[in-house]
Amino acid sequence: MSAPSTEAGAAPGAGGERDGALLQVRDLTTTFPVRGQGVLRRVVGRVQAVTEVSLDVDAGETLGVVGESGCGKSTTGRSILQLIRPDSGSVRYDGRELVGLSAKEMRPLRRELSMVFQDPFGSLDPRLPVSELIAEPLRIHQVYSSESDLRDRVDELLGLVGLKSEHRNRYSHEFSGGQRQRIGIARALAANPRVVVLDEPVSALDVSVQAGVVNLLEDLQERLGLSYLFIAHDLSVVRHISDRVAVMYLGKVVELGDAVSVYENPRHPYTQALLSAVPLPDPAAERRRRKSRVVLTGDIPSPANPPSGCRFRTRCPKAQQRCADEVPVLRASDVAGTHTFACHFPMGDADSAA
């Protein structure tokens, strides 16, 4: 891993860093060991799942994280919550450093930092009734005064996610995928969190059901003032729900900014290719797009041995020698510095049509 060059053009605080953000992530790096085939299973290398990721989530804000499989978006979410221990970097929540805290020290904070998982089938214990599934986090954090108080809170949470209190004695297999995801959301919200990391929360759902869950998440955010880190591969859903968006490629944030700005005026060639690859459910528009689509060649390189310089250069239509020699750093696209990108040869306004 080569050190990023500090370039004169890099705006201070580029990377969407803001003072006083509720969640501040700086240079977060997480690697996984690659073990050899031998008996000793010696570590022969490290997969750089997340490399020097910096981002902020403000109170009440949704930061979307998009990217393709293997880009490190899920590992970023889990590293922030310390579910995976990052190698280095800093995660400050409400002024407190999380990296390096022991599991015991982390536990009271887990009330405030919760998570919704992708698979509504695998993330709910099939042997517990819904009431117990939702009461479990409340019991762990001991945030109830009596059994009747607990019962009321469970009913309140069921109502919050659009389920009925008569559902409380049923088991998760009796529910549809969308309803199960609602139970997962109720669990995540049980202990009154402030930050929720949502890892592909609607990917397993059919579109007509997905829309209802997305609406629910938006309503809950408004009512409870939640901050979301919304991780997904579906660019349409991310655009819909996010205030700001971070685009990741092979462990790095390549572009970060206001959702409208990133989608309307992508500066990184990868963001542009990603946006132009999304098929539109509009036959005439989609046929026009197919003709002008930038189809990337090749596949994502192995994160165990990422390309030198810019990690996207092996698939980039604009790559030059400089891209192999020098790691591009995030720099500001506009005066305000709310939109940043890491590219030596960014897309101009003229050729950035999505």
Partner 1 sequence: MTGTSGALLEVDGLSVTFPSEDGEVHAVRDVSFAVEPGEVLGVVGESGSGKSVSLMAVPRLLPGSARVTGSIRFDGTELVGAKPETLRGLRGSEMAMIFQDPMSSMNPVHTVGRQIAEARRAHASVSKDEAWRDAVAALALVDIPQPETRAKQYPHEFSGGMRQRAMIAMAMVNKPRLIIADEPTTALDVTVQAQVLEVLDQARVESGASLVLVSHDLGVVAGTADRVQVMYGGTIVETGPTEEVFERPRMPYTVGLLSSLPAVDQIGGRLHPIPGAPPSLVSLPPGCSFAPRCPIVEDACREAEPELVEVGTGDAAQRSSTIGTDHLSRCRRWDVLAEGSTENLFSRTEVPA
Point out which residues bind partner 1 (CB under 8 A). 68-69, 161-163, 176, 178-179, 182, 206-212, 214-216, 218, 233, 235-237, 239-240, 260, 263, 273-287, 289-290, 293, 295-297, 299-300, 354
**Which of 32, 84, 29 is closest to 53 using CA atoms?**
29
Least distance (Å) between residue 315 CB and partner 1: 8
> Shortest distance, CB of residue 177 to partner 1, whole angstroms?
8
* Residue 209 CB, nearest approach to partner 1 (Å): 6
Q: What's the number of CA atoms in the CB half-sphere (13 Å) around residue 17?
A: 17
Minimum Å gap between C-beta 203 and partner 1 is 11
Q: Decide whether 81 or 163 has the Cβ nearer to partner 1.
A: 163
Query: How many residues are listed for the chain in this entry?
Result: 354
- Paired with 195 in beta bridges are 113, 227
Dist. CA 277–CA 295, nearest whole Å: 7
When the beta carbons of 15 and 184 are compared against partner 1, the nearer one is: 184
In this structure, the number of other CB atoms found within 10 A of the CB of residue 293 comes to 14
Query: How far apart are CB 201 and partner 1 at their closest, in Å?
Result: 14
Burial class (CB in 10 A: 0-12, 13-18, 19+), 295: exposed
Residue with smaller CB distance to partner 1, 1 or 280: 280
Q: Find tokens 């409870």 and name the residue.
A: 224
Of residues 89 and 178, the one with the C-beta less far from partner 1: 178
- The residue among 41 and 287 lying less far from partner 1, judged by its C-beta, is 287
**Cβ closest to partner 1, residue 27 vs residue 234:** 234
Spell out the residues 6+ positions from residue 150 whose beta carbon is closer than 8 angstroms to its own. Answer: 135, 138, 139, 144
Which residues 6+ apart lie within 8 Å of 153 measured at CB? 135, 138, 144, 190
Q: How far apart are CA 267 and CA 252, in angstroms?
A: 15
Query: Least distance (Å) from partner 1 to the CB of residue 249?
Result: 10
Measured distance CA(228)–CA(189) in Å, rounded? 12
